[in-house]
Each structure stands twice: as structure tokens, then as C-alpha cells.
Amino acid sequence: MALVDQVQFDKDGLVPAVVRDAASGAVLMLSHLNAEALAKTEASGLLHRYSRSKGALVAPQEGTAEVVREARLSCSGDCLLLSVEVQDTARDCFSTLLWQDPQGTPATDDILQAVYRIVQQRRTQPADQSYVASLFAKGLDKILSKIGEEATETVVAGKGGDPEEVVSETADLFFHVLVLLGYYDLPPERIYAELRRRFGVSGLTEKASRSQKGGAN
């Protein structure tokens, strides 16, 4: 059954669609689709939207098209949740913060992304006031040595058999890996994209392909 036959459109012939990043789960925007936009989205795999202000279909633009990886329908049948592969990371319509609980953890679908943003902010602070800034000031070798140290502590925790220690040391390891990504200005989305590329591929096949590439150099 086609998607248009499963969706309940409103009186204007539209259905709202929450669009999120398939990799991180972060909400990017709220769009609207009419029957034509939904049909073209299903046929092409690329998100087509309906502009209420223009009263016209908005086709995907080359270089910024969102590839729809999953479409879900609400229990009431009148709202869509679309997970898309984003080519333009700047397309985030919810970047303006209006209010946040000052006592709470950042309200984000992806805590790694939130921590990465803090890492990038802290790298410009004085090294005597920020641990992250001190790592950047000491250079790449210091960052790499900390990753090695945390990796070793994670292994020791794994051998120790205490789940809480495993969680704690893994968190330390993840944090310092985020510092390394920050050193190279590589957002977590790059890692998500690589994991998506490998998803469904045998680990043996992936390893063999990398070995072939290495041998060709």
C-alpha cells in the first residue's frame, strides 16, 4: 500500500512531518507534505516538501537533498516522522535556544554531539581554566596519550567485572575521543556516517576491503 493511502491529510490536504537526522536522531525541522510531495518522496527516496507560504511543491536541491532512510506514521495517522541522511549539516531549524532548565542536562537527542560542542567552545579558553583547553595547548601527542591511558583503564575495568566501572571508564574514553575529533574539527556525524556505511556489511568483509586498500598504496 502506498504511503499516501495510509496517511490522514488535514483539511488543506497536508500532513506535518517531523524531520530528524537518521544518524544522531536530532530533530532538524517540521515540514509539511501534500499527496504529491509524499508520492514523490516515496518514489525517489528524496524528501520533497510542500511550502505553505509559496503554495507549491519544494523539490530537493542538488547538494542539499535529504535521503529518507525511514518513514513512520503516528498512531493517529495524521503525522509523519521522517529519518533522513543529511548532506547539509547546517539545516537545523531548532538551533535557537529559548529556554533550558539551568539545573538539567542539555536536552538533546545526542549527548555526544552536546559534549562535542562544549569541547569546541572550551578549546579557545585559557589552559589554566579549562582541562580541554589544556589538552589542546599541549598538542596532539598529549591528546593521543590520554586516549591510550583511558583505553587501558577501560580494558582493566572490563577485566575487573564491575559494570559501573566499565561505564565510567568508557565514558572517559569517549570524552577524550571527542577531544581528538575536535582537534581535527570532525563532528560526531562523520563517525555516524561511517558506521552507517558499514551497517549490514560483514566485519570480515569490511576488514578485508581496508586491507586491500592498504595494499594498493
State the DSSP code for 217: -
Taking alpha carbons only, the member of 47, 37, 42 closest to residue 9 is 37
Strands of the sheet with 80-85, listed across from one edge: 27-33, 15-21, 80-85, 67-73
How many residues does this entry show for the chain?
217
- For the chain, the structural domain boundaries read 3-85, 111-204
Instruction: State residue 192's pLDDT score.
Output: 84
| Residue 168 CB coordination number (10 Å) | 14
- CATH T-level topology, domain 3-85: Ubiquitin-like (UB roll) (3.10.20)
CB 107 within 8 A of CB 99: no
Q: What's the pLDDT tens digit per position in 101-141?
A: 666 666 555 788 889 989 999 998 999 999 999 999 999 99
pTM of the model: 0.60
The conformation of residue 46, written as its DSSP 8-state character, comes to B
| pLDDT at 104 (0 to 100) | 63
Distances (CA, A) of 192 to 71, 136, 186, 204: 19, 24, 11, 20
pLDDT in tens for each of the 217 residues of the chain? 888 999 999 999 999 999 998 877 778 899 999 999 999 999 999 999 999 999 999 988 766 778 999 999 999 999 999 999 876 555 567 767 677 666 666 655 578 888 998 999 999 899 999 999 999 999 999 999 999 999 999 999 999 999 999 999 999 999 999 999 999 999 888 898 888 888 887 877 767 776 666 665 5
CATH of domain 111-204: 1.10.287.1080
Q: What is the model's pLDDT at position 62?
A: 67
